[in-house]
Amino acid sequence: MRICSLLPSATEIIGRLGLTDSLVGVSEECDWPPEARGLPVVTASRVDSSTLTSPEIDSAVRDAVADGRSLYAVDEEVLATLAPDVIVTQDLCTVCAVSADDVSSLCPVGAEVISLNPATLDDIARSVETLAQRLGVPQRGRHVVEEMRSAIDAVRRAVAGRPTRRIFVAEWIDPPFAAGHWLPEMVAAAGGQDVLGRAGQPSFPVSWSAVRAERPEVVIVAACGFDANRGAEEARGADLPAPSVAVDANAYYSRPSPRVADGVRQLGHLLHPDACPDPGLPAVQLTSRHSAEAAPRTATPTA
């Protein structure tokens, strides 16, 4: 079977299912498993986030969406040459990857298009099982889901009965975006409450003054598409309302893949370090001029 994955989370799932060798093409953003980086690139973003600041990226995305322009360019020639049997993409977010409708219009004859659109942790589990079923490895899918759920449940048990920490998860920095989809669920599993997040719903713009009014104890900078260092770099100029930690959102928070379980483990440690061991994921501690309180009860994260 020849698989073309245009969705970074799907590429990760395919890798966890043991089907990396079946991948023949990927998107520019597909970077895990590492073997995916050497495959032909079929789609690429029209917005070069590596050269733009957070407000510049936000402006470019808003302009493209308002004009009805796709944020992704599809290399039709490469797609035709690869002749995939299966193409995996999504319709959940116009910013995250090329849509199924765009792909279908360019789809090689005979190729099956699979669209994954999870909005919750349970949806992520179901998307793994769905993809595994469609790719002929249902038992592997069940095993991956079992591992993911087991890791999250272990954190829930570890923090049970402890005081709930009030936090704000920033899915973007300038402007700040309150978290949506599975991220508030991740916070809840780790013994926290996302003061503005809406589970199962899209993220949405707010203001730092609105965040401050909610009096969060901690701000988690989980900027979509950024690693911990890039998130910290962008957040250092922000009006942060509380002690803050930048995390690798690109790998462990933004993508609806089994690695969100690692993100839950990290959140558990950041919020309840005496109950949850440090999983050793990248994190950068930030400071806030508005915070007169003690720093969050966490071990000092390292980049």
Residue ranges per structural domain of the chain? 3-144, 163-286
Indicate the pLDDT class of residue 270, thresholds 50, 70 and 90.
very high
CB atoms within 10 A of CB 292: 6
Residue 250: which of 268, 239, 271, 234 has the closest Cα? 234
Confidence (pTM): 0.86
In tens, the pLDDT along 58-68 reads 665 565 555 55
Identify each DSSP E strand in the chain by its residue range.
3-5, 23-27, 41-45, 72-74, 86-89, 112-115, 165-173, 176-178, 180-181, 192-194, 198-199, 204-205, 218-221, 244-247, 283-286
In CATH, 3-144 is 1.10.287.3510: no
Q: Which of 94-98, 104-108, 273-277 has the highest mean pLDDT?
A: 273-277
In tens, the pLDDT along 179-201 reads 999 999 999 999 999 999 999 99
Per-residue pLDDT, 111:
83
Residue with tokens 């701000």: 219
Contacts (Cβ under 8 Å, ≥6 apart) of 20: 14, 33, 35, 36
* Interatomic CA distance for residues 30 and 11, integer angstroms: 7
Any idea which of 71-75, 214-218, 289-293 has the lowest mean pLDDT? Answer: 289-293
Per-residue pLDDT, 118:
93
Residue with tokens 């469609």: 134
183, 171 contact by CB (below 8 A): yes
Residue with tokens 């920490």: 165
What end-to-end distance do the CA atoms of the chain give, in Å?
Answer: 39
Same fold, 3-144 and 163-286: yes
pLDDT at 273 over 60: yes
In tens, the pLDDT along 106-152 reads 555 578 889 898 999 999 999 999 999 999 999 999 999 999 999 99
Structure tokens at 72: 């992704």
Per-residue pLDDT, 191:
98
Per-residue pLDDT, 300:
41
Average pLDDT of the segment spanning 11-33: 95
Fold of 163-286: Rossmann fold (3.40.50)
In tens, the pLDDT along 214-267 reads 999 999 999 998 999 999 999 988 889 999 999 999 999 999 999 999 999 999
2, 84 contact by CB (below 8 A): yes
Residue 133: which of 26, 17, 21 has the closest Cα? 17
